[in-house]
C-alpha cells in the first residue's frame, strides 16, 4: 500500500499519472527535476536558467534579450545532471526564450508561462523594473483576456481568437469601442496577450486614466495553406473575409460593444500592418482609426497601390472619415524602408497621418511601446 507521504508527493508533482494504472504496486519515483527552479530572477536583474538534462552534451539558452549575432550563453552541468547559467542583468522587459539542448529547441520545463508564435511555442520571461512598469502585472484593476473559438464560414474552419475586456466590463451595462489588433507573420492570436502584454498595457493605462475603456480583439491572421498576407488587395487575402464577415459579426453579436465606424479601430504590426492598411483604408465606412506598426507595402505592391488607390485615398471623403492614422517604425527596423516609402505616398496625396520613427528594430520591444502610445489616442 502506498503511504500517505508518498501519495502527497505524487499528487504534488503530478507523477500520479505514472502509477495510476497499478495502484497495488506503485513504483514511487519522484521526478529527478522536482526541485529545479527556472528561471530565477535575482534582485540585481540577473537571471539564472536551469534545466535537468543529464545526458546532454551541450545546452545553451536563446532569448529575445540577446543582441543579434551574440553567442548564446552556455549552461554548465552539475553532478546531478542539472545545467545552469546566470546571465544579465537583463533589461526589464518581456522576452521569449528557449533552451537549445544538443541542437533541439527546448522550452523551460519549469516555467509555466509560455508564448505561442506562428510555428512554435517558447517560454516567457518577464523581468520587472524600470522602463517596464507599463507592461507589468501591477496592483491595479485587471481586465480579462478570453480565449474564444468561433466558426469561420469564410475559411470553413473553427478558429481561435483572444479578446481583452476592460475591468468593470461585465457589470457596467455600457457598450465599448473595439480595437482589432493584428499580429505579425511570425506570430499567432496568442502573441499579443502573452509576449505582447496587451492586457496589462491596457490595464495600466486605464488605471492612470490615460485611455478610454475598450475591448481589444486579437484574431488569428494566418490562413492555412495561404502564404503571407503581404499583397495589396483585401480580397486576395482571405483573412479580410474572416475578419469582416466572421470575426467582427461574432464580436458584435456576442460582446457588449458599439458597432459603428466611430467606435471601431484597427491596428497591426508587420504582416498585420499590411492587413490593417488593406482592410482599414478600403473600409473607412467601418473603421475610423488605424494604426500601423513596423510595416508598409513592399515596393512592387506599393506601385500597385499608388496606381489603384491614389484617387480614392486623396479624396476629401477619405480625409474626413479617417479620424486617426498613426504609423510607427524603428530606426533599425527591417520594415523602415517600406514604411518611409509608404509615408511618402501618403504625403504626396495629402492623406493626413502621424509617422513616428523611433529607436529600435522589428521587435516586440517596440510593438509593446507602440501599443502603449497608440491606445491613448483612440476613441477621442
Looking at the Cβ atoms of 267 and 333, the one nearer to a copy of itself is: 333
Among 44, 79, 139, 285, binds a copy of itself (CB under 8 A): 139
Q: To the nearest whole angstrom, how small is the minimum distance from the Cβ of residue 308 to a copy of itself?
A: 19
Secondary structure (DSSP) of 80-119: TSEEEEEE-PPPSEEEEEEEEETTEEE--TT---EEE-SS
φ, ψ at 97 (rounded to 5°): -155, 165
Provide, rounded to whole angstroms, the least separation between the CB of residue 203 and a copy of itself. Answer: 8
Nearer to a copy of itself, 79 or 149 (CB): 149
- At its nearest, how many Å lie between a copy of itself and the CB of residue 230? 6
Residue 214 · residue 176 · CB < 8 Å = yes
Site for a copy of itself in 303-362 (CB under 8 A): 332-334, 336, 361-362
Tell me the closest approach of the beta carbon of residue 317 to a copy of itself, in angstroms: 33
Q: Which of 252, 245, 184, 178 is nearest to 217 (CA)?
A: 178
Among 15, 214, 232, 290, binds a copy of itself (CB under 8 A): 15
Count of beta carbons in the 10 Å neighbourhood of residue 240? 20
Residue 55 or 130: the one with the smaller Cβ distance to a copy of itself is: 55
Query: Contact, 141 vs 156, CB < 8 A?
Result: no
CB nearer to a copy of itself: give 5 or 380: 5
Alpha carbon distance 274, 242 (integer Å) = 16
Task: Out of 126, 145, 155, 371, point to the residue binding a copy of itself (CB under 8 A).
Answer: 145
- Residues in 202-261 at the binding interface with a copy of itself, rule: CB under 8 A: 227-228, 230, 253-256
Task: Tell me the three cell numbers of residue 310.
Answer: 491614389
Determine if 10 is a binding residue for a copy of itself (CB under 8 A): yes
121 vs 349, beta carbon nearer a copy of itself? 121
Q: Is residue 39 a contact partner of residue 65, using CB atoms and an 8 Å limit?
A: no
DSSP secondary structure letter of residue 371: H
Q: Which of 93, 204, 240, 270 binds a copy of itself (CB under 8 A)?
A: 270
In whole angstroms, how close is the CB of 353 to a copy of itself at the nearest point?
23
87's CB contacts (< 8 A; 6+ apart) are: 46, 47, 48, 49, 61, 73
Interface with a copy of itself in residues 36-95 (CB under 8 A): 51-58, 64, 67-69, 81
Q: Which residues pair with 60 in a beta bridge?
A: 74, 100
Are 357 and 335 spatial neighbours (Cβ–Cβ below 8 Å)? no
Residues 203, 141 contacting (CB under 8 angstroms) = yes
Chain positions 95 to 114 lying near a copy of itself, rule: CB under 8 A, are 98, 101-107, 109-112, 114
Q: Does 27 participate in binding a copy of itself (rule CB under 8 A)?
A: yes
In angstroms, the CA 172 to CA 309 distance is: 42
Give the count of residues interacting with a copy of itself (CB under 8 A). Answer: 98
Nearer to a copy of itself, 16 or 312 (CB): 16
**Only segment of 8-16, 260-268, 304-312, 350-358 that touches a copy of itself (CB under 8 A):** 8-16
**Nearest approach, Cβ of residue 78 and a copy of itself (Å):** 14
CA distance 324 to 289: 5
Q: How far is the CB of 350 from a copy of itself (least distance, A)?
A: 28
One character per residue 172-201, x = contact with a copy of itself (rule: CB under 8 A): ------------xxxxx-x-----------
Q: What is the CA radius of gyration of the chain?
A: 24
Which position among 151, 312, 320, 352 is part of the footprint of a copy of itself (CB under 8 A)?
A: 151
Give the three cell numbers for residue 127.
Answer: 523581468
Distance (Å, rounded) from C-alpha 350 to C-alpha 353? 9
Amino acid at each position: 500500500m502506498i503511504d500517505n507521504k508518498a501519495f502527497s508527493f505524487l499528487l504534488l508533482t503530478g507523477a500520479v499519472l505514472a502509477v495510476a494504472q497499478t495502484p497495488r504496486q506503485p513504483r514511487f519515483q519522484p521526478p529527478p527535476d522536482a526541485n529545479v527552479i527556472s528561471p530565477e530572477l535575482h534582485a540585481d536583474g540577473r537571471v539564472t536558467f536551469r534545466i535537468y538534462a543529464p545526458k546532454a552534451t551541450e545546452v545553451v539558452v536563446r532569448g529575445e534579450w540577446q543582441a543579434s549575432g551574440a553567442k548564446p550563453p552556455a549552461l554548465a552541468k552539475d553532478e546531478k545532471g542539472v545545467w545552469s547559467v546566470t546571465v544579465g542583468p537583463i533589461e526589464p522587459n518581456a522576452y521569449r526564450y528557449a533552451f537549445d539542448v544538443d541542437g533541439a529547441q527546448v522550452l523551460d520545463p519549469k516555467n509555466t508561462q509560455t508564448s505561442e508564435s506562428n510555428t512554435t511555442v517558447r517560454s516567457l520571461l518577464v523581468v520587472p523594473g524600470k522602463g517596464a512598469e507599463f507592461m507589468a502585472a501591477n496592483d491595479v484593476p485587471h481586465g480579462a483576456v478570453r480565449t474564444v473559438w468561433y466558426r469561420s464560414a469564410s475559411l470553413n474552419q473553427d478558429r481561435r481568437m483572444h479578446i481583452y475586456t476592460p475591468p468593470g466590463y461585465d457589470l457596467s451595462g455600457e457598450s465599448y469601442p473595439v480595437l482589432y489588433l493584428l499580429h505579425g507573420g511570425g506570430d499567432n492570436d496568442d502573441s499579443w496577450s502573452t509576449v505582447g502584454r496587451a492586457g496589462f498595457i491596457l490595464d495600466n493605462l486605464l488605471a492612470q486614466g490615460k485611455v478610454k475603456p475598450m475591448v481589444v480583439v486579437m484574431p488569428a491572421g494566418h490562413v492555412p495553406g495561404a502564404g503571407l498576407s503581404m499583397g495589396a488587395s483585401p480580397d486576395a487575402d482571405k483573412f479580410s473575409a474572416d475578419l469582416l464577415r466572421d470575426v467582427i459579426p461574432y464580436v458584435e453579436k456576442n460582446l457588449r460593444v458599439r458597432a459603428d465606424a466611430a467606435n471601431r479601430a484597427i491596428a497591426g504590426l508587420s504582416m498585420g500592418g499590411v492587413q490593417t492598411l488593406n482592410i482599414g483604408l478600403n473600409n473607412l465606412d467601418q473603421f475610423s482609426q488605424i494604426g500601423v506598426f513596423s510595416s508598409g507595402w513592399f515596393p512592387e505592391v506599393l506601385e500597385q497601390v499608388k496606381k489603384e488607390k491614389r484617387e480614392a485615398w486623396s479624396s476629401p471623403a477619405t480625409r474626413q472619415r479617417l479620424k486617426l492614422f498613426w504609423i510607427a517604425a524603428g530606426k533599425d527596423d527591417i520594415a523602415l524602408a517600406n514604411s518611409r516609402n509608404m509615408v511618402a505616398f501618403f504625403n504626396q496625396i495629402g492623406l493626413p497621418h502621424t509617422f513616428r520613427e523611433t529607436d529600435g528594430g522589428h521587435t516586440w520591444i517596440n510593438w509593446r511601446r507602440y501599443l502603449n502610445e497608440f491606445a491613448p489616442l483612440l476613441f477621442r
